[in-house]
Amino acid sequence: MFVLLAWAGSEVKDATDTTATGISKPTGAPAPATSVASLAAKAVDECKARAVDLLRAPLTAEWDQPFPGKALTDDNRTFGVSGVVDSQNAFGALVRSLYSCQVVFDGVDGWVVNNPAITPW
């Protein structure tokens, strides 16, 4: 989507985008660019949101210290996410665990998180 801006004195106004067919359609604010890096960061957040439900004491969770969560992808749509989380166990001791998920981005419905897991370090 292209946004054309018309300069009128000291104010900027939205113009219309005319396609090759001559059909004009109004342009609004451009949609934010969706880069692979921003999708990967969102995939990590989605995985954490599901993995926290698997912790014994979720309010004590300290995510990604000292290792930040990673999201790897081959197709910019399916992400394998993993990272570390420190949280209390049933005895109140702080333990380190690995979290992992498969996160799929569907441009229409949003994010689908598959196989969230917490495993001992």
Strands (E), the chain: 5-8, 11-14, 16-18, 24-26, 62-63, 70-73, 78-88, 94-106, 110-120
Label residue 15 by pLDDT band (50, 70, 90).
Answer: very low
In the predicted model, is pLDDT for residue 29 greater than 50?
no
Chain segment 49-71, per-residue pLDDT in tens: 999 999 999 999 999 887 889 99
- Residue pair 12/4 in contact (Cβ under 8 Å)? The answer is no
Chain segment 73-120, per-residue pLDDT in tens: 999 899 999 999 999 999 999 999 999 999 999 888 899 999 999 999
Alpha-carbon Rg for the chain, nearest whole angstrom, is 22
In the predicted model, is pLDDT for residue 22 greater than 60?
no
